[in-house]
Structures are given as structure tokens and as C-alpha cells.
């Protein structure tokens, strides 16, 4: 097999005999890291999910293992990075470009990568820009409101509908409401399975979990 599909919905492939950028190893290790991070949260969700489906649990500002909010930071930053890389491959393929063409077309590449990320994970992109890449108050923009600046440094993780999520509630400060979006690590991963890792699976039972495929980026003769 000389072509590997890295986006099953947009049909983005990597041609092993004509690599647009050499040694794209990050396409291998990043999905497995994202799976591990999602698995951390899935296991913690399993501990809190009631066995009776009629029982609903909602917790906000509850005491929790610090690894949970940290995982949201790591997952969002890494997921945006991974999706941008897939967007890069798409752009290089579409224009028949290689590494040699990247610098001379940097503006178009940046625009296309941003557009692809926005089309796939818009909530994570916004959250990453205001929280996990850097907290909004440490690099404020003119259009950052008081709610966004203050909520970006809070622990916004809550437990809702059997999932840990962030920003289930929004903060209003000085009459301005935060624009940080609600999202969930496990929900995001599971929603992206059909696009990126069709054989992968998350489950409360770790024995039933399946990680992404491991691809061999060495051309076959």
C-alpha cells in the first residue's frame, strides 16, 4: 500500500512514493498521544458515571485530580497541531507542492491550514488560542473582553451528561460575557474517529479501548 489516508472524510492521503514533506512522523505519534490523553479522561468519566442511566450527575467547581484540567490543555494544543498538519498535507497535495515550496507560499499555507482547522475543530481552535497556547491575559488582544480574560485562567472543568467538559457555564465580568466555548475531550475524540482513526475506540473498560493505526511511512517497492 503506497497511499495512506489521513482524513477519511475529505479524502486526504499521503503518497509514500511521492511524499510532499519528508518523514512526517508526527502523523504517527500524535494520534497515539491524543488517544492516551482521551483515555485518561474516559477512565475518569467512567468512575463518575452512575450505573443507573436515569440518575444524572452535574458537578461544577468540584475537587478533582489536577491531571484532568491539565489534560484539556495538552489535548487541545496537540489536537490543533495535528489537525493543522493534516491541513498542510492537504494544501501541499492540492498545489503539488513540496518542502521546497513552503516558505515562498507561507501566507497561503497559513490561511489554508487555519481554514481547515476551523472547519474541523472550531471550538478547540478558539479555546487553544485563549487558554492552552497561552492564557489570554498574558497576551491580550484589543477585542478580549473582561469575561474571557478572567475565565481563561479559571478551572472551567465540570462533569455534565457523563462527560468532563469545559465552559459549561460562561463568566460575565463588568458586564462582558466570556466567549470561551464548551467542549469535551472524549466527545471531541469520538467525533473525530470517523475522520481520522476509523478503527479506534474509547470505552470505560480499558480492555475494550482501541488506539489508532500505526502507519509505516517507508515507501513500499
Q: Of the segments 61-65, 139-143, 189-193, 212-216, which one has the largest average pLDDT value?
A: 189-193
Q: What are the backbone dihedrals phi and psi of residue 205, each rounded to the nearest 5 degrees, phi first?
A: -90, 110
Cβ atoms of 137 and 171 within 8 Å: the answer is: no
Domain boundaries, the chain: 3-208
What is the percentage of the chain residues whose pLDDT exceeds 90?
71
At residue 219, does pLDDT exceed 70? Answer: no
Tens digit of each residue's pLDDT (9 = 90 or more) over 160-183: 999 999 988 888 999 988 988 999
The rounded distance, in Å, linking the Cα atoms of 149 and 154 is: 10
At residue 221, does pLDDT exceed 70? Answer: no
At residue 7, does pLDDT exceed 90? Answer: yes
Q: Note the pTM of the prediction, 2 decimals.
A: 0.93
Q: Of the segments 14-28, 64-78, 146-160, which one has the largest average pLDDT value?
A: 64-78
- In this prediction, residue 220 has a pLDDT band, given cuts at 50, 70 and 90, of low
pLDDT of 5: 94
Residue (of 112, 88, 85, 86) closest to 7 by Cα position: 86
| Helical ranges in the chain per DSSP H | 26-48, 67-95, 99-102, 106-120, 122-127, 146-151, 185-196
Tens digit of each residue's pLDDT (9 = 90 or more) over 75-100: 999 999 999 999 999 999 999 999 99
Higher-scoring residue by pLDDT: 88, 1: 88
- In this prediction, residue 61 has a pLDDT band, given cuts at 50, 70 and 90, of confident
Length of the chain: 221
The rounded distance, in Å, linking the Cα atoms of 201 and 208 is: 8
Amino acid at each position: 500500500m503506497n497511499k495512506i489516508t489521513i482524513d477519511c472524510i475529505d479524502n486526504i492521503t499521503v503518497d509514500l512514493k511521492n511524499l510532499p514533506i519528508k518523514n512526517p512522523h508526527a502523523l504517527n505519534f500524535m494520534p497515539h498521544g491524543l488517544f492516551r490523553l482521551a483515555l485518561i479522561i474516559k477512565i475518569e468519566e467512567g468512575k463518575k458515571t452512575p450505573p443507573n442511566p436515569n440518575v444524572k450527575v452535574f458537578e461544577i467547581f468540584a475537587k478533582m485530580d489536577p491531571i484532568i484540567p491539565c489534560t484539556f490543555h495538552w489535548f487541545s494544543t496537540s489536537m490543533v497541531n495535528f489537525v493543522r498538519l493534516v491541513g498542510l498535507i492537504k494544501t501541499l497535495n492540492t498545489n503539488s507542492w513540496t518542502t521546497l515550496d513552503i516558505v515562498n507560499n507561507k501566507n497561503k499555507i497559513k490561511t489554508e491550514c487555519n481554514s481547515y482547522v476551523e472547519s474541523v475543530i472550531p471550538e478547540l481552535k478558539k479555546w487553544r488560542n485563549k487558554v492552552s497556547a497561552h492564557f489570554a491575559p498574558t497576551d491580550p488582544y484589543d477585542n478580549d473582553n473582561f469575561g474571557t480574560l478572567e475565565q481563561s485562567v479559571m478551572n472551567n472543568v465540570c462533569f455534565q451528561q457523563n462527560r468532563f467538559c469545559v465552559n459549561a457555564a460562561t463568566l460575565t465580568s463588568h458586564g462582558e460575557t466570556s466567549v470561551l466555548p464548551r467542549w469535551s475531550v472524549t466527545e471531541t475524540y469520538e467525533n473525530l474517529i470517523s475522520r481520522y482513526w476509523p478503527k479506534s475506540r474509547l470505552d470505560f473498560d480499558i480492555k475494550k479501548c482501541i488506539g489508532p493505526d500505526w502507519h509505516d511511512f517507508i515507501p513500499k517497492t
